[in-house]
Amino acid sequence: MKSSIKKLFQKSLNIESIFNESEKIPSSNEKLTSEHSHLNEFKQQSSSIHIFPLGTKENHSGNYSKYVETSLTHISQLLHIKFEYALEDPKISNNVPNLSLSQKKILLLDLDETLVHADFSEEFIDDKYDTIIKFKSKNEENEKNDFFSDDDSTWCDANDSEDDLHSVGLFVRNGVNDFLKEANKYFDIGIFTASVKEYADAVISFLDPENKLIKFRLYRNNCINFNDSFFVKDLRIFKKVDLGKIILVDNSMYSFAAQINNGILINSFFNDKNDYELNNVLEYLINFILPAEDVRDVNEEFFNFRQIINDLVS
């Protein structure tokens, strides 16, 4: 069973942390100055690196090896970046749940192209959507300033009504509902998305209408925007939580660049009715991650992401 699961992942899926945890507790007089200094240091470090990551459409089963190799080549350039300094930005740490008392391992799930695909570009407009999501933007101009560009896949121009009401056709990945129900038995599930809150909440409410399966939500403002190139979901945002018990399923490898061995890379989903990747993920989670003392060790044994990075920088 385990060997067959591994073969499935080698075909379609792709994680110890790259960066050491460091907790500093400055005095009350020094805290603001220290945080400002640290945040500036992060900005200075990151500004010297120019990475143009592969788009999520490049992450598909036939292009798996190239996507992983290119992504890890980029990520290997980030080893000296102190992402934890960016977490001192109050905007990023806002409304983060306290998970330190969780009795289960924590399963974080990306949203777009991992669980669903929102057809903002109307690429599949001739196909039948699973549903139409409607949502309002709270502050359009401020939100658009946080986006990479107007054609970002998580943004829709306000053409629907005078009230900034947006609507978008949604495709749901095969098996999402069963996946959430089964995974909920063993893990504390949270959504960690690089999308904005209003849109993400509309999608999550559709996936979990009774609010019983998904225990918490993190959004774009909780991510680290790296030079307007990609978003990093640094898991140290959860204070006093052992990183050995957190797993992130995402279709972008850059999302878990700060903790490469905490991520499971799933192929991007757009509109494939024959896609059953979530079945493979669930089997891996239950058979390997659930009994693991440290999820990072298991992921490294399976995917060798850390070893690939070591080979790239050696």
Which amino acid, one-letter code, is at 245? K
Question: Binning pLDDT at 50, 70 and 90, where does residue 152 land?
Answer: very low
Query: Which whole number is the average pLDDT over 21-36?
Result: 50
Q: Residue 109: name the closest of 245, 278, 238, 243 by CA.
A: 278
Q: What angle do CA 230, 290, 268 make, to 5 degrees?
A: 30
Residue 126 lies in a domain: no
Q: How many structural domains comprise the chain?
A: 1
> In this prediction, what percent of the chain has a pLDDT beyond 90?
72
pTM for the full model? Answer: 0.85
Residue 58 lies in a domain: yes
Domain with 193, as residue range(s), is 2-116+172-313
The separation between CA 64 and the C-alpha centre of its own chain, rounded to angstroms, equals 18
Question: Binning pLDDT at 50, 70 and 90, where does residue 138 land?
Answer: low
Residue 30 lies in a domain: yes
Poorest-pLDDT segment among 18-27, 65-74, 93-102: 18-27
pLDDT at 117 over 90: yes
More confident residue, 231 or 22: 231
At 271-312, the pLDDT tens digits run: 999 999 999 999 999 999 999 999 999 999 999 999 999 999
Phi, psi torsion values for 189, nearest 5 degrees: -95, 135
d(CA 281, CA 299): 12
pLDDT at 50 over 60: yes
Strands 263-265 and 165-172: unpaired
Catalytic residue annotation: 110, 112
Which pLDDT value is given to residue 212? Answer: 96
Which pLDDT value is given to residue 163? Answer: 57
Residue 183 lies in a domain: yes
Residue 135 lies in a domain: no
Which pLDDT value is given to residue 52? Answer: 87
Residue 138 lies in a domain: no
Which pLDDT value is given to residue 185? Answer: 97
At 51-92, the pLDDT tens digits run: 888 888 999 989 988 999 999 999 999 999 999 999 999 999
Whichever domain contains 212, its CATH number is 3.40.50.1000
Residue 198 lies in a domain: yes
Residue 128 lies in a domain: no
